[in-house]
Amino acid sequence: MCSCCGKDGKKKNLYLTEYEAGVVANERRFATGITMHVYRCPEGGGWHITSNQRQW
């Protein structure tokens, strides 16, 4: 578990593997048309997704 928050102030989902985060990122891209990026949690222990290009 981590304390990372998104720009809305809500806790970010933490995915255990890069693959799992990538699957969710692709699903969201197909659903919304917004490209999502996968990056390692800065607190360690997992992966996050973001639409913010500067973050990854």
Q: How far is CA 24 from the centre of its chain?
A: 8
Contacts for 44 with CB less than 8 Å, ≥ 6 apart:
2
Rounded to whole angstroms, how far apart are CA atoms 14 and 31? 20
**Tokens 């304390």 map to which residue?**
3
> pLDDT digits over 1-23, tens only?
799 998 899 999 999 999 999 99
pTM for the model stands at: 0.85
Above pLDDT 90, what percent of the chain?
Answer: 80
